Amino acid sequence: MRVALFLTCVNDTLYPDTGRAVVRLLTRLGVEVDFPVDQTCCGQAHYNTGYRHEAEPLARRFSEVFAGYEAIVTPSGSCGAMVRELYPRLGERARAEGRGDTLERVLAPVVPRTYELTEFLVDVLEVTDVGAYYPHTVTYHPTCHGLRSLRLGDRPRRLLRAVRGLDLVELPGAEECCGFGGTFAVKNPDVSAAMGADKVRNAESTGAEVLCAGDNSCLMHIGGTMSRLRTRMRPVHIAEILASTEEDPAA
Amino acid sequence: MSTTHLGMPGLPPPAHPAFPPFPEAAHDAVRDERLRGNLRHATTTIRAKRAHAVAELEDWQRLREAGKRIKDHTLRHLDRYLVQLEEAVTAAGGTVHWALDAAEANRIVTDLVKATGEHEVVKVKSMATQEIGLNEALEAEGIRAYETDLAELIVQLGKDRPSHILVPAIHRNRGEIRDIFRTQMAAWGRPAPDDLSDTPAELAEAARLHLREKFLRAKVGVSGANFMVAETGTLVVVESEGNGRMCLTLPDTLISVVGIEKILPTWRDLEVFLQTLPRSSTAERMNPYTSMWTGTTDGDGPRDFHLVLLDNGRTDTLADDVGRQALRCIRCSACLNVCPVYERAGGHAYGSVYPGPIGAILSPQLRGTHSDIDASLPYASSLCGACYDVCPVAIDIPEVLVHLRERVVQGGEVTREGNKVVLKPAKGHGGERAAMRAARWAFSHPAVLRGGQRLASRTRRLHPRTLPGPGRAWTGTRDLPEAPAEPFRDWWQRTHGGEEDDK
């Protein structure tokens, strides 16, 4: 199976450790993973801020770059949801604007082949025990688009529960948004910060060392809030936990 | 009842003052510890109860889908059903009036009340009359409107604005309500007892006695309606307190102001919503009082019945193929109760009688996006999707929010007052527009992206921890992430070889 890593522009630029973790994890599971270097951004920030027409060329580009792969795996619920849920809508809107079905047809092939990482592991590779070792207390925050758009359900928790040494504790108010929301974080900074502070307080109340999630953009907001509030927890992407082994532990 | 208003408390300001943009209003609200506490307590309680009430029904998702389809079908054939309703109401002895906008609706109601010779009306809780500012319009003509819903009474006595669709005084706690009753009731009628405590039973008893004298005296009742059944011309009000039924049955004249989207074709359709509305709003299997009336009946209830059908931006909203789904709304408030933004910003920040997620998509459509508040409302959401999940008529609120953001920043064709107009892009988004365009360009040229990433990595020791200007919106409360030593793509090229493939 030809599998492509769609890392996302945020991870590529700011969180390369997450990308390395996905490569290590998938390689360990016997998957040959490629990183098409022409990939850039799925266009989600543009779309969600109201610049749908600016998002269209990025979506077309995505479709071209990933055209030859049977599976496109991304360590981001949010960007995964952009492709799966919103690319079809880009096509529909273009058609409604009298621009025909070209965009719909161009984007259609990548939609069903795009998987969020935990989805790919559980549904396609059919593994929950990925052979990981991570001797820490962890609480898991399900990020909104993974939870409510992709309906990841208990997949991430099943994967985490199978990690040796890992003590998974429930996060109070887990399903409530952390307050990142892309440009929402800077357009409505007071509400965003209040939501972030509540999320961090809830996470702290669990006594866990690590707050785990599947989206680094949310973790950037939560982590930035944690360090500003001088909490001792750290944010870690789920890929880095699942990639960690006794021989090769996470940093 | 005297017609002079000397010494009477003033009413809240009219419905359309210049509200500040949402972020500005929310700035103060998030710092109000008492407000935050009141809202957190109320919304988390009702949230859990609703989830329980909905989980009891195995066919919830099918009911939700049915509700959505019934509403969509009705909206598609609204012209036909409205005429059918008018005929049925008229045949049953009622009179139907058509109001294009708030001013026309207010004028119709005011004239109808004046024709009775009365100077006061009792009101059933109604969003449509709040939307048009009916109380203020009546006040200007010397007619006093008494709110009889307990929470609306608290808002009216407190010279306050509603902050929730179902529980308009949700921002008040029991102690505050006791203080309002003690200090304000006397100016409106029967005073509260001096030793009134803040126990729910005592507060309810004070309100009951205060309202009772108004019910028994009033000759004119004013209501809205939750539903109108086209096939028989029947109006439906669902409520918890029974105060609505007093207003619907005791007065001689009943005037109902109802948005045109509240129509349902048949009684069979009503069955779906009588299941989904109470469970979504108050987490009850069935609401305590469901009042239904069809025109007038000799010797039973009001002798005169007037139905004022209100457009006020609804037909314009219907013309938008993405935004029209907002008209499915049955005003249950489930989206408010589950919204993390509403919980922290409070209802007043939305600058409308429709707060929360539904307000953020309804107000900018009914009123247009030209004011500061209406242009900011589509952004008053993190797009977390919790509202869409709980909506009993499956309004994809995030989809409409993004659609309205597009309208704000890109402009385009919309329908206003029945005419197609082309909106210009809103002011104040120039910098953002340029940044989005630049980002799109960089993302279309991987070499440019890589150049930027490398620059960020190489200069990472120089990056400030806090940002000036607009960047402060992030760094005021959050640290910035550190740039890595190298972007992923450089690591990949280094370790997985491969040809440089930049274009």
Contact predicate B148/B124, CB 8 Å = yes
Enter the ipTM.
0.97
DSSP conformational letter for B257: E
Q: Do residues A151 and A92 both lie within one domain? A: no
**What DSSP designation does B260 have?**
G
> How would residue B11 be classed by pLDDT, with cut points 50, 70 and 90?
very low
C-alpha gyration radius of chain A: 18
* Residues A46, A159 within the same domain: no
A99 shares contact with chain B (CB less than 8 Å): no
User: Could you give the CA distance from residue B5 to residue B24 in angstroms, rounded to a whole number?
Assistant: 35
CA distance A131 to chain B (A): 24
> pTM to 2 decimals?
0.94
Do residues B205 and B150 make contact, with C-beta atoms less than 8 angstroms apart? no
Residue A14 shares a structural domain with residue A91? yes
- B-facing residues of A in 200-239 (CB < 8 A) are 220-221, 223-225, 227-228
SS3 letters across B109-132: HHHHHHHHCCCEEEECCCHHHHHH
Of A56, A91, A124, which residue is a domain's last?
A124
* CATH number of the CATH domain containing A209: 3.40.50
| H-run or E-run covering B2 | none
**DSSP conformation letters of B175-198:** HHHHHHHHHHHHHHSSPPPTT--S
- Residues A114 and A220 reside in one and the same domain: no
Assign A9 to helix, strand or coil. Answer: helix
Measured from the Cβ of residue B280, the count of other Cβ atoms closer than 10 Å reads 28
Instruction: Using CA coordinates, name the residue in chain B closest to A43.
Output: B440
Domain co-membership, A15 together with A115: yes
**Which chain A residue has its CA at the smallest distance from B384's CA?**
A144
The mean pLDDT of B426-430, rounded to a whole number, is: 83
Q: Are residues A237 and A191 in the same domain?
A: yes
- Cβ of A188 within 8 Å of Cβ of B483? The answer is no
More confident site: B482 or B147: B147
**In this complex, which of B27, B437, B478 lies closest to A221 when CB atoms are compared?**
B478
How many whole angstroms separate alpha carbon B177 and alpha carbon B170?
Answer: 11
Q: B99 by DSSP, 3-state: which?
A: strand
Q: Are residues A116 and A163 in the same domain?
A: no
Both A117 and A142 in one domain: the answer is no
Q: Are residues A27 and A114 in the same domain?
A: yes
Residue A23 CB-half CA count within 13 A: 17
Is A251 contained in some domain? no
Record the tokens describing residue B399, joined without a space.
């989809």
User: Residue B2 has what pLDDT?
Assistant: 36
How many domains would you assign to chain A? 2
- Point out the domain boundary residue: A124, A154, A171: A124
In angstroms, the separation between the Cα of residue B341 and the nearest Cα of chain A is 6
Range of the domain at A99: 3-124
Asked whether residue A130 is domain-assigned, the answer is: no
Q: Distance between CA A147 and CA A163 in Å, rounded?
A: 21
- Burial degree of B56 (CB within 10 A; 0-12, 13-18, 19+): exposed
Of A99, A124, A149, which residue constitutes the final position of a domain?
A: A124
> Would you say residue A249 lies in a domain?
no
Using the predicted structure, report yes or no on whether residue B373 has a pLDDT greater than 60. yes
Residue A195 and residue B344 in contact, taking contact as beta carbons nearer than 8 Å: yes
CB contact under 8 A, B344 and A194: yes
Question: What residues contact residue B86 under an 8 Å CB cut-off, 6+ apart?
Answer: B96, B309
The sheet with strand A33-34 has its strands ordered as A33-34, A3-5, A71-74, A114-116
- Would you call B436 and A54 a contact, using CB atoms and an 8 Å cutoff? yes
Residue listed under structure tokens 């365009």: B437
CB contact under 8 A, A37 and B389: no
Residue B7's pLDDT band (boundaries 50, 70, 90)? very low
Pairing of strands B227-229, B234-239: antiparallel
Domains of chain B: 57-312 (3.40.50.10420), 446-503 (no CATH)
pLDDT value of residue B3:
37
Residues A93 and A151 in one domain: no
How far apart are alpha carbons A173 and A176 in whole angstroms?
Answer: 6
- One-letter amino acid identity for A83? V
Instruction: For residue range B341-367, list pLDDT tens digits in order.
Output: 999 999 999 999 999 999 999 999 999
A183 vs B: CB within 8 A: yes
pLDDT at residue number B17: 58
Q: Kindly list the residues from chain A whose CB atom is less than 8 angstroms away from the CB atom of residue B381.
A: 181, 184
Query: Tell me, what amino acid is at B162?
Result: P
Looking at the partner chain, which of B382, B479, B496 has a beta carbon nearest the beta carbon of A228? B479
Query: Nearest CB to A46: which of B321, B385, B436?
Result: B436
Same domain, A77 and A108: yes
pLDDT in tens, A178-191: 999 999 999 999 99
Place of tokens 């003590």: A167
* Amino acid in position B69: R
Which residues partner with A60 through β-bridges?
none
Quote the minimal CA–CA distance from A35 to chain B in Å: 8
Establish if A49 belongs to a structural domain.
Answer: yes
- Does A30 share its domain with A115? yes
- Residues linked to residue A210 through DSSP beta bridges, in sequence order: A138, A234
- The whole-angstrom distance between A28's CA and the closest CA on chain B is 16
Q: Is residue A131 a part of any domain in this protein?
A: no
Tell me how crowded residue B194 is: count the other CB atoms within 10 A of its CB.
6
Which pLDDT tens digit goes with each residue over B66-95?
Answer: 999 999 999 999 999 999 999 999 999 999
Helix (H) or strand (E) holding B315: helix B314-318
Out of B383, B404, B456, name the one closest to residue A13 (CB): B456
**Each residue's pLDDT tens digit, B378-419:** 999 999 999 999 999 999 999 999 999 999 999 988 999 889
A12 neighbourhood in chain B, CB within 8 Å:
453, 487-489
Which residue in chain A has the smallest CA separation from B412? A97
Chain A, chain B: beta-carbon pairs less than 8 Å apart? 197
